[in-house]
Amino acid sequence: MWIKTRSNDQLVADAKALFDKHFDAQPVGVWAAPGRVNLIGEHVDYAGGVSIPFALEQNTAVAVATRKDGKLVMVSDAADEPVSVDLAAVGPGSPDNWAGYVAGTVWAGLKDGGIPSCAGLSIAVTSDVPVGSGLSSSAALECSTAVAAYELATGHAPDDAARARLVKACMRAENEVVGASTGGLDQNASLFGKRGHALELDFSSGALDLVPFDLAARGKVLLIADTNAPHSLSDGQYASRRGVIDDVQEALGAGPGATLRDIPDAVDRACAWAKDTGRDEDVVRRRVAHVVEETARTLEAAQALKEGNLDRFAELMRDSHLSLRDQYEVTTPELDSVFDAAGQLGARMTGGGFGGAVIVLLDQDKVDDTVAAIESAAKDRGFPEPTFLVALPGEGARRLA
Ligand code: GLA
């Protein structure tokens, strides 16, 4: 089954209709931010690595109006009840549901100055970004809120410098208010995405390069197969992977200007540290090896992409999945089943793992056969029915109406 995506006009109409249903006022405007797909460079953003994501054409849209009573009142067509919270009451763990992404963004933006002021907002949310699929529905929610609150405070859209500050606010919302220790890949992609391009993000230098990504011209497609085995990044497994890497980085003296990939013999030194501190040496070796190798792989993939060498790119995608499966251990039987059914080459899980989606880079004329193979593998093993999307690089967060 193919996942349905609304036109921008429909998204605007639906966000406005939802707003009208719940609020007496008119919305000032409608803003949108996309989900993202990560082509390669997984679980390295919090270790100064490199990732190559792009912003999807699937967006979350928010219809927003200002209020003067210090409240954030949030409604979503995916939630039963509106959520109302005093801005002064927002903080770690509060609110403790989907509204934490929205309120947390405004809270963090006000604290850091990324959002200069806010005396309250009424917000109606509608989204085409699949939830729990590794496609960053959370970042889409944060970033659509961020650009709306920014423009309502300043009277203009954020430039690149302002977007960089909004990335920080959105990350802080997720890390501190929601309690997911994610690393910035998603928010950068959602705020800085450009139609027709992938982004090469270097989390060590902070560099962000646009890389043309026009698969159609090469007769190729990027297929997303959502396993529909849901995941959550705030359930402890993501944090457990990150925790090991954070500890190793600290023990090895990594920090600004000297991230894991700059440390010679990082894997051996991490093993020595694990032995000294009574940790499982084999686990630490595999986790650190993944981060170091995935970063080297992604640098090579960026080069391959710039040279138009999609065959090499496809091999590197496969190797990335194998490392996530065997060394980082964040795949699931459902993800591995899609990876195998798609033929491995050009396939890999995308996002945080523990559920979610697999991407497949393939020839246009192979889409139908590949979809059929993935569906039948899931059926044979009694897994949920996967759903599909053809991913194209769309625009980053912006005002729609
Ligand atoms: C999630 C996180 C990101 C990143 C990826 C894995 O999407 O939000 O920060 O760590 O997982 O690459």
pLDDT at 264 > cutoff 90: no
- 53-89: pLDDT as tens digits: 999 999 999 999 999 999 999 999 999 899 999 999 9
Which residue's CA is the closest to the ligand 1 atom numbered 8?
182
Residue to mutate, 52, 143, 182, ligand 1, most ligand atoms under 8 Å from C-beta: 182
Domain membership of residue 47 (yes or no) is yes
Average pLDDT score over residue span 221-239: 86
The Å distance, Cα 4 to ligand 1 centre, comes to 25
| Average pLDDT score over the chain | 96
Q: What is the pLDDT of residue 261?
A: 87
The Å distance, Cα 312 to ligand 1 centre, comes to 24
pLDDT at 194 > cutoff 80: yes
Write the CA distances from 229 to 4, 13, 143, 338, 395, integer angstroms. 18, 31, 25, 12, 28
Residues 138 and 236 in one domain: no
Ligand 1 atom nearest 183 alpha carbon: 9
Q: Give how many domains the chain has, as a whole number.
A: 2
Residues 152 and 228 in one domain: no
Helix, strand, or coil (residue 54): strand
Domain membership of residue 357 (yes or no) is yes
pLDDT at 257 > cutoff 70: no
The Å distance, Cα 20 to ligand 1 centre, comes to 35
- 97-106: pLDDT as tens digits: 999 999 999 9
Ligand 1 atom nearest 174 alpha carbon: 8
- CA 112 to CA 178: how far, in whole Å? 17
Ligand 1 atom nearest 185 alpha carbon: 9
pLDDT at 52 > cutoff 80: yes
Residues 208 and 59 in one domain: yes
Residues 297 and 180 in one domain: no
Residues 237 and 378 in one domain: yes
Q: What is the pLDDT of residue 59?
A: 98
Average pLDDT score over residue span 170-185: 96
Average pLDDT score over residue span 245-267: 87
pLDDT at 187 > cutoff 90: yes
Q: What is the pLDDT of residue 232?
A: 67
Q: What is the CATH number of the domain that holds 80?
A: 3.30.230.10
Residues 303 and 362 in one domain: yes
Domain membership of residue 2 (yes or no) is no
Judge whether 384 and 332 are in contact, CB under 8 Å: no
Judge whether 66 and 313 are in contact, CB under 8 Å: no
- CA 246 to CA 241: how far, in whole Å? 9
pLDDT at 207 > cutoff 80: yes
Q: What is the pLDDT of residue 253?
A: 87
Residues lining ligand 1, CB < 6 A? Answer: 38, 42-43, 45-46, 182-186, 233, 351-352
Residues 251 and 365 in one domain: yes
Domain membership of residue 61 (yes or no) is yes
Residue to mutate, 45, 137, 329, ligand 1, most ligand atoms under 8 Å from C-beta: 45
Q: What is the pLDDT of residue 234?
A: 62
Q: What is the pLDDT of residue 373?
A: 98
Residue to mutate, 185, 199, 287, 330, ligand 1, most ligand atoms under 8 Å from C-beta: 185
Query: CA dihedral defined by 247, 253, 256, 261, rounded to 10 degrees?
Result: -80
Instruction: Give the tokens for residue 313.
Output: 């790119």
Domain membership of residue 286 (yes or no) is yes
Judge whether 70 and 143 are in contact, CB under 8 Å: no
Residues 302 and 206 in one domain: no
Q: What is the CATH number of the domain that holds 307?
A: 3.30.70.890
Residues 207 and 241 in one domain: no
Residues 245 and 377 in one domain: yes
Is the torsion defined by CA of 8, 13, 19, 21 positive or negative?
Answer: negative
**186 belongs to the catalytic site:** yes
Domain membership of residue 48 (yes or no) is yes
Residues 91 and 63 in one domain: yes
The Å distance, Cα 81 to ligand 1 centre, comes to 29
The pTM score is 0.97
Q: Which residues contact 205 (CB under 8 A, 6 or more apart)?
A: none
Ligand 1 atom nearest 38 alpha carbon: 12
Catalytic residue among 186, 226, 319, 336, which? 186
Domain that holds residue 118: 8-213+394-399
The Å distance, Cα 43 to ligand 1 centre, comes to 6
Domain membership of residue 3 (yes or no) is no
Q: Which of 31-40, 231-240, 382-391 has the lowest mean pLDDT?
A: 231-240
Q: What is the pLDDT of residue 80?
A: 87
Residues 25 and 145 in one domain: yes
Domain membership of residue 1 (yes or no) is no
